[in-house]
A and B are shown apart, each in its own frame.
Chain A
């Protein structure tokens, strides 16, 4: 204990140190600042500073010093806990609490620190039971019932400080204590203290809810307590048996769902709690800040699960009540922008956190109403999201909400067995139609139309690093694709008719433009708007079709989706196979010109629509109208064909329980249809190799043995191989990644089924020239001299790229032969590193060859 005289000196010292720290950098030197910091640090380390700190708090007028005094108390208490008397700790705590009570004008940061010190004391004392929260809560309760807004706000701050301190998250400030200690404190607190806080908060909310008009001050208090309620409901309940090693990981959870322990049953299963929150929201929803909190509370309640439910019927009844409350909340209100995300969170939680069996156990009328509500909201948010895009808003709240709802739809429909069959068909149709509408241009759709019906057509510079729509919106497209499958009867024909229509129009427009250009060769005079609208329509139609008809699973065998297969089987009796094949095989003709066109398989007709698009593109290219075409559409077509081919081309009947006759006739092994398509796709690719996506389609065609077998029978394939091997233009000018993939494709093709003579001939065409040219080159006597010649360097680089491509073609049954082929090159490559020591790009490439070989072959090492 320091004498009063010493205390005054200490205060003076601290206050002048504070002045130094608060001063602008120009006024004090670094040494002075460091000295001042040191003063405070050593002060905080001093033994038993309680008396002096009390004195400082009561005497000093410098806020920073007060702050440091509070911190010193807090740190010392934890440090010296076992040496302190219970009574002194209690009186210290009481002192601090009284202190803030008596000083309503205290600086916020000082007050918070003092309350934090109180919370730390309570926490430290909770474990050895030296402090009981009861006393505190009693005092706080009295503060709340005082009716004085300032005092009530303070009460809220105290509770908040306690909650923060016990939550054992990164906010926790009791440093130097073990994870185990924090865990144990938390568990004790969540069983008792936390619930008391919750009940007190509910009482306050109840009280405020009853009042008609709230003045500004009272509103403020209301808001603080609502925020506190949110924090309680967002508490990450620590399970009783979680090992201490896992606590840190557990606490790092980002999105906490409400999983209370059993002792919370009475508190949370009381439906009046839920009702209270719904009422509160109705009352304050116009205030966007408070609305966030109240919607978050509801979302947390909607996420409740775990041991709190004693049995299924309790869970069902809770869910039913929640859904009822939600529906009456939504009914009849015009949703504010600030509510969209919160509402979508509630729905998402209800669908995600409650098991299918519980959802299906809801009274059917209630469930239907819920689904209808979800449908309406989805369509509405979708429209608003489209508007947000037009206005290019910074904060796309409706897009975020729309994404969430579509995600929920995906969860719902993916698990169809639990739900009554067909119950999602009508909703799926509505959501699907709405999506299509938002993405098509007027008059069919509302794309780019702002609220007053004016459409914009901006031509901005787009950086190619921007993600393609198919990646950017892949989640949305997956959901819409899935919904399209659920309602295949409606959606597949819809897509087909829209696509066929747009392709016809595109064809017409290109012809007209061609004639216009023949009259006047000024490309600038062409009105791009009509074309661009068509291209954008086609772009979205192809994307949706691609996501509907097929999946692109990484690492799994891609299968035809069950719903699509079932759809095709269901209608196969009405289908005329010959007409179907005719429609498929005539991409240059309008589908409607084939007699009997309405009796074709819809899945095949949708594919044919994309082939027709591709045909228009090819013809326009041949007519030198490339400038008028859209490279984006070109990419989309190739992307679709690749995605489609992986699942449908050369269908392996063994993989399916039931197979659709039209599909197996058109695309099965040993069918004319399959052969025709492979030939068609090959032509398409070979004529457009400069695009990256195109060559990937080529790889897809040959990476499956059955497909490769057909490919190698095509003349165009052999001429491609010869062309590439001899490095004739224009193939030699392609970018290096295209060249690599091309080599990969050619090597993969070599492992197709061929008689031994043909096979020998194939390798003679494809691989041996590579070897020959390389060996001829490097074995020349004057190689060292000519090595820096451009032509020589190019040859070396092309060879190295080809080696990478060959390595990439490694599959389990060709690893041995490829390896021995590559080995010859690899030994020579080492010598090349010396020769090209001056050219880092070439050295890099040589190293890359080694990396690729190792990377692609090492996984087969055991074979």
Chain B
């Protein structure tokens, strides 16, 4: 898939959401698409039926956005789709009606992401209410985006 003549200047557009990888090349704590969802691999084991059977890989993954658990199985020589994961840090500027105002490196502001309804979201709200300045890490994969962590403000 990787084309040696790939033009690296095109930026966001043209990059595919997933790319294939041989099942046996997957690793625990890596990523894989299970039942259509981008997941982090939490368990991976190989087994075969009988001594002379073909190896199958059993995967258990957690949806990186919903935290739901998914399982799947794949013959080890087949390919599976791996999601392209992007992580970007933004500085939190404001929270308005449960939406975050995030400033990127180049000063652009985006306000299209909600404060997530989980521990991370609570952390974001708490820190914001306390008047702290901090970064928010946003993960994006397969067309979805979500804030997943807070970070210490990067020194400019």
Contacts and interface: CB of A to CB of B under 8 A. Distances in A.
Contacts of A465: 45-46
B9 A838 contact: no
A690 interface: yes
Nearest to A469: B51
A574 interface: no
B88 A631 contact: no
Contacts of B86: 788-789
Contacts of A154: none
A839 interface: yes
**Across chains A and B, which 8 residue pairs bring their CB atoms closest together, nearest first?**
A790-B84, A630-B52, A735-B25, A464-B46, A535-B52, A459-B50, A733-B22, A461-B47
A792 B54 CA distance: 34
Nearest to A776: B8
A773 interface: yes
Contacts of B22: 690, 730, 733-735
B8 A729 contact: no
Interface stretch (B11-19, B110-118, B125-133): B11-19
Given A535-B52, A726-B4, A786 B11 contact: yes
A732 interface: yes
Interface string A829-857: 00000000011010000000000000000
A733 B54 contact: no
Nearest to B17: A790
Nearest to B86: A788
A780 interface: yes
B94 interface: no
B54 A462 contact: no
Nearest to B48: A462
A461 B49 contact: yes
Given A789-B8, A789-B15, A794 B2 contact: yes
Contacts of B6: 791
Contacts, number: 108
Contacts of B87: 788, 838-839
B16 A790 contact: yes
Given A732-B2, A734-B22, A786 B9 contact: yes
Interface in A766-825: 773, 777, 780, 782-783, 785-786, 788-792, 794-795, 798
Contacts of A34: none
Contact of B46 (A463, A630, A632): A463
Nearest to A533: B52
Contacts of A339: none
A516 interface: no
23 contacts: A459-B53, A463-B45, A464-B47, A464-B55, A536-B52, A539-B51, A630-B52, A631-B53, A631-B54, A632-B51, A729-B1, A734-B22, A736-B25, A773-B4, A777-B8, A782-B8, A782-B11, A786-B9, A786-B11, A790-B19, A794-B2, A794-B19, A838-B137
Given A459-B53, A536-B51, A733 B21 contact: yes
A461 B2 CA distance: 36
Contact of A461 (B8, B48, B88, B137): B48
A788 B88 contact: yes
Interface of A: 458-465, 528, 531-532, 535-536, 539, 627, 630-633, 690, 726-727, 729-730, 732-736, 773, 777, 780, 782-783, 785-786, 788-792, 794-795, 798, 838-839, 841
Contacts of B15: 789-791
Nearest to A795: B2
A783 B8 CA distance: 8
Contacts of B54: 627, 631
A828 to B, nearest CB: 16
B79 A733 contact: yes
A462 B50 contact: yes
Interface residues of B, number: 37
Contact of A780 (B9, B30, B49, B50): B9
Contacts of A841: 29-30
B98 interface: no
Nearest to A782: B9
B147 to A, nearest CB: 14
Contacts of B45: 463-465
Contact of B51 (A462, A690, A786, A788): A462
A627 B52 CA distance: 11
Interface in B3-42: 4, 6, 8-9, 11, 15-16, 19-22, 24-25, 29-30
What secondary structure prevails in chain B residues at the interface with A? Answer: mixed
Given A734-B22, A790-B19, A790-B84, A459 B49 contact: yes
A733 B19 CA distance: 10
Contacts of A536: 51-52
B53 to A, nearest CB: 7
B52 A838 contact: no
Contacts of A777: 8
Contact of A735 (B8, B24, B49, B88): B24
Contacts of B29: 841
A736 to B, nearest CB: 7
A459 B53 CA distance: 9
A789 B30 CA distance: 16
Interface in B65-104: 77, 79, 84-89
A839 B30 CA distance: 11
Contact of A733 (B9, B20, B50, B85): B20
A727 B6 CA distance: 12
Contact of B77 (A461, A690, A727, A795): A690
**By CB atoms of chain B within 10 A, which of A780, A789, A792 has the most?**
A789
B84 A838 contact: no
Given A736-B25, A780-B9, A790-B16, A460 B50 contact: yes
Nearest to B8: A786
Contacts of B47: 461-464
B74 to A, nearest CB: 14
A844 to B, nearest CB: 11
A788 B137 CA distance: 14
B50 A792 contact: no
B22 to A, nearest CB: 5
Given A464-B46, A734-B22, A786-B11, A791 B53 contact: no
A839 B139 CA distance: 12
Contacts of B21: 733
Contacts of A783: 8
A63 B146 CA distance: 69
A461 B47 CA distance: 6
Contacts of B2: 727, 732, 791, 794-795, 798
Given A463-B47, A631-B54, A777-B8, 8 more contacts: A462-B48, A631-B52, A690-B22, A730-B22, A733-B20, A733-B25, A735-B25, A791-B15
Contacts of B16: 790
A532 B50 CA distance: 9
A74 to B, nearest CB: 55
A393 B45 CA distance: 26
Contacts of B77: 690
Nearest to A785: B11
Contacts of A531: 52
Contacts of A838: 87, 89, 137
Given A780-B9, A782-B9, A532 B49 contact: no
Given A461-B47, A736-B25, A780 B8 contact: yes
B33 to A, nearest CB: 13
A730 B22 CA distance: 9
Contacts of A798: 2
Nearest to B75: A627
Contacts of A794: 2, 19
Contacts of B84: 789-790
A152 to B, nearest CB: 56
Nearest to A784: B105
Contacts of B48: 461-462, 464, 631
A780 B54 CA distance: 45
Contacts of A627: 54
A824 B52 CA distance: 46
